[in-house]
Structure 1
Amino acid sequence: MYTKNQVNQMKQEFWTAFGWYMKPVPSADGSPVNWKNYKTGIRHLYFRMQAERDFASISIAIQHPDEDIAELLYAQLLELKHLLEMELGEAWSWIPKDQIAPEKNGYRVEKKLNSVNVLDKKYWPEIISFLKPRIIGLDAFWSNARYGFEGLL
């Protein structure tokens, strides 16, 4: 059993290692990017990565406080589903608002890797190998798709 401090420390070590691993990788437009805290440039639309005790995931999260705008952003993302899945080379799970816990309002599009544990370093290469191509793929998708979102807000 780990203490809360040990869990936080291990996760911080993992994300630091991930950051160093990704540091030399430029964005799709050639500029430097903070991969862990990727900025989409659209308020309330985020690229999120998680590494936990039993899974790792990467997602696009729409968490706009105005439900109508959140729905509009999700609809725009659905319009670009083919482009997204073509860029990523795989299908992701599309999770509408009514299937997300109330405290995590909004919409989500995600890919999960089960049966990995960020607290065990032997899984780190597998988690990094899962996250790396997907965040790079999201960046490549976003370099073209973001313009379709800018006019919505």
Structure 2
Amino acid sequence: MFSKEEAKALRLEFWQKLANRTRRLPGQKGRKKVWIADKTGIKGLDLRFDVGREKIIVALEINIKDEEKRLTLYEKLEAAKSLFENQFGEPMIWDWAYTKDNGREVCRVYVERPGDIYIKETWPEIHRFMIDRMMRLEKAFLDIKDYLKYNPQV
């Protein structure tokens, strides 16, 4: 078991090593890869990494507080499921009522694998998984972004 300070230092090192790995991606020219993350252009829709003691998750998350708006956007995303998953390249987990560790309910479309952020020997494999899946998720999202933004009621 780690002290609070040791755990914090390990998490910080994990994220720094991930950032360093992204510098070697094609087209990055030594710069850290900046994922579109919360700058998706759609309020309340984010691309996320969720890394813990048991699993590693790469997700598209809808975290709009208003449940009706959140579920409406999720239904729209679900309507594009086959296109989205085809572009992503593998089936994903679709959860319209995912409960985060903090108790907040969100909608998530994600992939996961077993993993523990505190086992340094597994970091290279975890980083490869995270980078590969996030690049694929970003590409799949960008293919349907305009459709998700379109609001015929406006």
Question: Do these two structures clear the TM 0.5 threshold for a shared fold by scoring above it?
Answer: yes
Residue type of the alignment partner of 2:132: P
Once the two structures are overlaid, the 10-residue window that deviates more, 104-113 or 16-25, is: 16-25
How many residue pairs get matched?
Answer: 147
- Structure 2 distance, partners of 1:36, 1:117, is 25
Aligned to 2:96: 96
Higher relative contact order, structure no. (Cα contacts within 8 Å, ≥ 6 residues apart): 1
Give how far 1:112 is off.
1.1
Superposition RMSD on alpha carbons, in Å? 2.3
Residue in 2 that maps onto 1:86: 86
User: What residue number does 1:20 align with?
Assistant: 20
Q: In the alignment, what sits opposite 2:149?
A: 150
What displacement does 1:117 show?
1.6
Identity fraction in percent: 24
Alpha-carbon offset, residue 33 of structure 1: 5.0
C-alpha separation between the residues in 1 aligned to 2:35 and 2:16? 11
In 2, Cα distance between equivalents of 1:118 and 1:5: 15
Amino acid at match of 1:141: A
* 1:19–1:36 CA contact under 8 A, matched in 2: no
Q: Equivalents in 2 of 1:36, 1:151: separation in Å?
A: 19
Are residue 46 (structure 1) and residue 46 (structure 2) matched? yes
- CA shift in 2, pair 1:24/1:37, >3 Å: farther
Question: Would you say the 8 A contact 1:36–1:49 is kept in 2?
Answer: no
1:6 corresponds to which residue? Answer: 6
Unaligned runs of 5+ in 1: none
Corresponding residue for residue 126 of structure 1: 125
Kindly provide the amino acid, as one letter, of the partner of residue 100 in structure 1: T
Map of 2:137 onto structure 1 = 138
Scaled by the length of structure 1, what TM-score is found? 0.84
